[in-house]
Chains A and B, each alone.
Chain A
Amino acid sequence: MRALFAFIAGGTFGTGLVVSGMTDTTKVQGWLDIFGDWDPTLAFVLGGAVVPMFFAWRYTDGRLPRLGGKFPAPPEPKLDHNLVLGSLIFGLGWGLAGLCPGPAIASLSYGGFGGGVFLIAMIAGMLAAPPARRWLDAVAGSS
């Protein structure tokens, strides 16, 4: 059952990514190009997604997930260098190619050779993150 609902959630997520335009790199780059011919559609995508989730979070109060377990605890409100630097690095890559992780996976079936190369490079980057984090922590700790 858990796998079935995960499949449905993944499918709905992917469909939303395609429909919204998040898998079209030229659109995404237009949405991020605030210094050029800026297109504000990204705010509509994010706004449209945040509204159902806002109500979902409120519904979790005093309840448990339908298939058992617990709802994820609120993360520690720790705003550290990894969060800030990591997000900046991610944003640079996102703007450069126009793909973030969800759309990179969702477009696998039609993204062609380049799409596959992006996904492999992204996975390589993910594998490089733990040593990068240790290095950043050491630099931050010694300063």
Chain B
Amino acid sequence: MYQDWIWGLVGGGLIGIAAALYLLVNGRILGASGILGGLVDGTERAHSKERLAFLAGLVLVPVSVVPFYSSVDTHLTPNLAVVIFAGLLVGVGTRLANGCTSGHGVCGISRLAPRGMVATVFYLLGGGASLLLFKHVLGVI
């Protein structure tokens, strides 16, 4: 547990540095759901090259730089019905709210933006309620 906190802090620092770089150099907000969502629904075709380059880095770089990468595992549930339902909720929810953990959480809170803070409170509430419902009440996870 103690080690988890250290890795959490180090990884979090890297996330923050990435977001700071994207803001200060490219002048853009690092929000994963917005970058992907704007591409797939065609609402923000502008900067699509920049978005694709960001996603390419996100997919390709961790494989090559994280030393213990060969041992990492997402431990995702094998229950595909759960996977599909959860994916749909994450997709529709983040686009309705216009942001996710990175955009509202990291970029919004650090800007002291009320929208980012409110969103973060509600997705953490949703996450806690989800574990309560699906794990402790229904026992599906």
Contact = CB atoms under 8 A, between A and B. Distances in A.
Q: Decide if A and B are genuine partners.
A: yes
Q: Is the interface of A mostly helix, strand, loop or mixed?
A: helix
Interface string A11-50: 1111111111111111101001111100111101111111
Contact of B89 (A25, A72, A92, A108): A92
Best-surrounded residue of A2, A45, A110, A111 (most CB of chain B within 10 A)? A45
13 contacts: A2-B47, A9-B30, A16-B14, A23-B74, A33-B135, A34-B131, A35-B132, A48-B15, A65-B23, A69-B26, A72-B28, A85-B96, A126-B41
Given A20-B10, A136-B96, A122 B87 contact: yes
Given A12-B14, A53-B110, A74-B111, A67 B130 contact: no
B87 A102 contact: no
Contact of B66 (A15, A74, A128): A15
B33 A23 contact: no
B91 A14 contact: no
A63 B62 CA distance: 32
A73 B43 CA distance: 19
Contact of A96 (B63, B96, B111, B134): B134
Interface of B: 1, 4-5, 7-30, 32-33, 36-37, 40-41, 43, 47, 49-63, 65-66, 69, 72-78, 80, 82-98, 100-102, 104-107, 109-111, 113-115, 118-136, 141
Q: Shortest 7 CB-CB distances between A and B: which pairs?
A: A91-B126, A125-B91, A20-B11, A48-B12, A95-B130, A121-B87, A11-B61
Contacts of B129: 88, 91-92, 95
A42 to B, nearest CB: 7
Contact of B101 (A69, A72, A102): A102
Contacts of B130: 32, 91-96
Nearest to B118: A79
Interface residues of A, number: 116
Given A15-B62, A16-B15, A51-B13, 6 more contacts: A16-B11, A29-B141, A36-B131, A44-B9, A45-B15, A48-B16
Interface of A: 2-27, 29, 32-36, 39-42, 44-57, 59-60, 64-72, 74-75, 77-79, 82-112, 114-115, 117-130, 132-133, 136
A98 B11 CA distance: 17
A89 B85 CA distance: 11
A6 B101 contact: no
A128 B75 contact: no
Contacts of B37: 126, 129
